[in-house]
Chains A and B, each alone.
Chain A
Amino acid sequence: MTPFISIQSVTKIFQKGQSLIKPLEDLSLDVPQGEFLSLMGPSGSGKTTLLNLIAGIDRPNSGKIIIDKREVSGLSRAELTRWRARHVGYIFQLYHLVPILSAYENVELPLLLGKLGKAERQERILAALDLVGLADRADHRPAELSGGQEQRVAIARAIVHDPGLLVADEPTGDLDRESADGILKLLGSLADDHGKTIVMVTHDPRAAAAAHRSLHLEKGRFVESPTGHSVSASPSR
């Protein structure tokens, strides 16, 4: 079976003034559909960079990235933007809700790019908010929500257009333990019950443990993790 995400010998180079930074070098990785994968590693190891490549926010300097049978590394910037709008949900550490918009309006943002009518949008938005357990907070502004609730709204925003791929950059990094557990449970069920493929970057071993599989990145390469997690290419479930 072809993997949902296939990363083949990807190298990413940043230019900073005179010097070149190579956060990722000759990296390969396969992720099957429906897997909840966590990426760990020290700061600066290239986790966010890898996540951005998978999410189509950035493009590699060499190598191939194939997602759901489409070679996204070959797409132009504009094509990538359109592709993201339909296939990717991005969850940030700091939620990044638009502060002037209500929870409902924040979740509506990805749908405004499509052709859905108002009634259909409403149905989807309420379903997404319901799934994250915040149907009763639709009219609240981000400032009126707790961190955990904000992150739930952000997850609703990431799934409302029904993308196959979810990427999350330290989604629990700013949350207390209880809220974090709720978010992790939610992500787990999105993979298990809704078939989403999830790639999550985290510093928290507890979060990593909630995933199906955990990989350890160091200096742009996968390594045997200090905590003994395997670097197997096949899913551990």
Chain B
Amino acid sequence: MKLALLALKNLVRHRLRSLLTTLGVSAGMFLYASVQTMQHSLAVATEAGAADTTLVVYRENRFCPATSRLPEHYLSVIEGIPGVRQAIPIQIAVNNCGASLDVITFRGVPPETLRAYNPEINVVEGTYEDFLNQSDGALVGQHFARRRGLSPGDTFEAVGVNVTVAGIIASDSPQDENVAYVHLPFLQQASRVGLGVVTQFNVKVERAELLQPVAEKIDETFAADQQPTHTRPEKAFFAETAKQMIELISFTRWLGLGAVAAVLGLVANAVLLIVRGRVRETAILQTLGYSRWAIGWMVVIEGGLLGLVGGIIGVLGATAFFHFKSFTLGNEGLTLALSPSLPVTLSGLAVAVTLGLVASLYPAWKATSRPLVQSLNA
């Protein structure tokens, strides 16, 4: 404890040097925490986002909501297939089909069907009734609402569509947090795809074992049609449409690793320089009776403190950044909200301290391994 205080004094009284090192550490940790936030958000989105008994019916060989077009009347056929519990037609309109940081997704659905099909949707502001009664009404996901600063009664325009916010919704499904649900006919007209055309059908089957046979049956049914279908379990659909996004985000792993290496090198270098500049001082302390352990501890504590302070600035900075900026990454109609999370913040701090401690192990050993008599003459 007394040693920690001495280490702290050492850092505080070499203010500029400590500040510069801390700055570097916080930059590295900011990057690291950002990467972790992306990874974590992706994990949440892909693991929790897909129901186990849901199929997605898409137009064959189409990969973007703008090009997948299916006749709405397929619905009654699909509902008639044995094993199908429920189905909902969805028209999807996105402002940007490629990769983007500010994706806006409209989901046009038959308003009465939505509640029955998707009971986990919880209207936290406004009412469901308002949504039913307003043909231009929208149920807006919380994350989306926060990003746009929307509350019930507001109107907003996106993708050339003007809607009125009827309610704000919360849901366990991360996808729902980023979309605006609107009336299907309204969206069909507003986005000029035309009445009777939808992007996809979401189909719930009775049991997970039925996913495969029902999917095959659906595709078989429409195979000879003008608009053949391709039906996949929702998980597979996500995995495939989000492939580029997943690859992109997986790649950032290396950035995170690079940030870790940079922090490690930075702290190690800083502490090594500190130790080098203190050879005589260290020898004096040893002469006074400070053991090699005590000296080593002080060095390690200094490294740990540099890591901690840099980590607090960098990691909390990244947390605040993602909290206030509310980025939504999107690709081919699938959206991914980049949101900070407590586990990421805490693990980031732990990583920062650990890096500080680990980085100063070698300098600590350096500081204590020099023969005392030699250091005194230095």
Chain A residues proximal to chain B, CB less than 8 Å = 52, 55, 57-58, 78, 81-82, 84-86, 88, 90, 92, 96, 98, 100-101, 105, 109-110, 112-113, 157
What is the chain A residue whose CB lies nearest that of B278? A98
What are 27 A-B residue pairs whose CB atoms fall within 8 Å in the complex?
A: A52-B373, A57-B287, A57-B372, A58-B372, A58-B373, A78-B291, A81-B286, A81-B289, A81-B291, A82-B289, A84-B287, A84-B288, A86-B289, A88-B289, A90-B287, A96-B284, A98-B281, A100-B9, A105-B9, A109-B285, A109-B288, A110-B288, A112-B6, A113-B289, A113-B290, A113-B294, A157-B288
Instruction: Report Cα–Cα, A189/B290, bound state, in Å.
Output: 28
B289/A110 in contact, CB under 8 A: yes
Q: How far is the CB of A72 from chain B (nearest CB, A)?
A: 13
Q: Would you call the interface of chain B mostly helix, strand, loop, or mixed? A: helix
Instruction: Report Cα–Cα, A89/B14, bound state, in Å.
Output: 28
Q: How far is the CB of B320 from chain A (nearest CB, A)?
A: 33
Q: How far is the CB of B145 from chain A (nearest CB, A)?
A: 53
Interface size class of B (residues with CB under 8 A): 20 to 34
The yes or no answer to B124 lying at the interface (CB within 8 A) is no
List residues 87-110 of chain B with CB under 8 A from any CB of chain A.
none
List residues 7-24 of chain B with CB under 8 A from any CB of chain A.
9-10, 13-14
Instruction: Report Cα–Cα, A22/B326, bound state, in Å.
Output: 74
Instruction: Report Cα–Cα, A191/B288, bound state, in Å.
Output: 20
Instruction: Report Cα–Cα, A82/B284, bound state, in Å.
Output: 14
Q: How far is the CB of A206 from chain B (nearest CB, A)?
A: 26
B280/A96 in contact, CB under 8 A: yes
The yes or no answer to B3 lying at the interface (CB within 8 A) is yes
A-B complex: 5 closest residue pairs judged by Cβ atoms: A85-B289, A100-B13, A84-B289, A112-B2, A96-B284
What is the chain B residue whose CB lies nearest that of A100? B13
Instruction: Report Cα–Cα, A225/B372, bound state, in Å.
Output: 31
Instruction: Report Cα–Cα, A84/B287, bound state, in Å.
Output: 7
The yes or no answer to B376 lying at the interface (CB within 8 A) is yes
Instruction: Report Cα–Cα, A52/B288, bound state, in Å.
Output: 12
Instruction: Report Cα–Cα, A84/B9, bound state, in Å.
Output: 24
Please tell me which one of the listed residues A52, A55, A98 contacts residue B284 in the complex, with CB atoms under 8 A apart: A98
Chain B residues proximal to chain A, CB less than 8 Å = 2-3, 6, 9-10, 13-14, 280-281, 284-292, 294, 372-373, 376
Other A-B pairs beyond A58-B372, A100-B14, A113-B289, 11, CB < 8 Å: A57-B287, A58-B373, A78-B292, A81-B290, A81-B292, A85-B288, A88-B289, A96-B280, A98-B281, A100-B13, A112-B3
Which residues on the B side are within 8 Å of A113 (C-beta)?
288-290, 294
Q: How far is the CB of A96 from chain B (nearest CB, A)?
A: 5
B288/A90 in contact, CB under 8 A: yes
Please tell me which one of the listed residues B10, B287, B290 contacts residue A55 in the complex, with CB atoms under 8 A apart: B287
Q: How far is the CB of A165 from chain B (nearest CB, A)?
A: 13
Which residues on the B side are within 8 Å of A96 (C-beta)?
280-281, 284
Which residues on the B side are within 8 Å of A84 (C-beta)?
287-289
Which residues on the B side are within 8 Å of A100 (C-beta)?
9-10, 13-14
Which residues on the B side are within 8 Å of A58 (C-beta)?
372-373
Q: How far is the CB of A95 from chain B (nearest CB, A)?
A: 10
Residue picked from A90, A105, A113, most chain B C-beta under 10 Å: A113
Instruction: Report Cα–Cα, A78/B292, bound state, in Å.
Output: 8
What is the chain B residue whose CB lies nearest that of A96? B284
Which residues on the B side are within 8 Å of A157 (C-beta)?
288
Q: How far is the CB of B192 from chain A (nearest CB, A)?
A: 72
A57/B373 in contact, CB under 8 A: yes
Q: How far is the CB of A157 from chain B (nearest CB, A)?
A: 8
Instruction: Report Cα–Cα, A86/B281, bound state, in Å.
Output: 19
Instruction: Report Cα–Cα, A92/B13, bound state, in Å.
Output: 24
Instruction: Report Cα–Cα, A148/B245, bound state, in Å.
Output: 70
Instruction: Report Cα–Cα, A100/B376, bound state, in Å.
Output: 19
Instruction: Report Cα–Cα, A109/B281, bound state, in Å.
Output: 12
Instruction: Report Cα–Cα, A110/B6, bound state, in Å.
Output: 12
What is the chain A residue whose CB lies nearest that of B377? A48
Which residues on the B side are within 8 Å of A86 (C-beta)?
289
Instruction: Report Cα–Cα, A101/B281, bound state, in Å.
Output: 11
What is the chain A residue whose CB lies nearest that of B281? A98
Which residues on the A side are within 8 Å of B376 (C-beta)?
52, 57
Which residues on the A side are within 8 Å of B288 (C-beta)?
84-85, 90, 109-110, 113, 157
Which residues on the A side are within 8 Å of B2 (C-beta)?
112
Instruction: Report Cα–Cα, A78/B368, bound state, in Å.
Output: 12
Instruction: Report Cα–Cα, A33/B280, bound state, in Å.
Output: 31
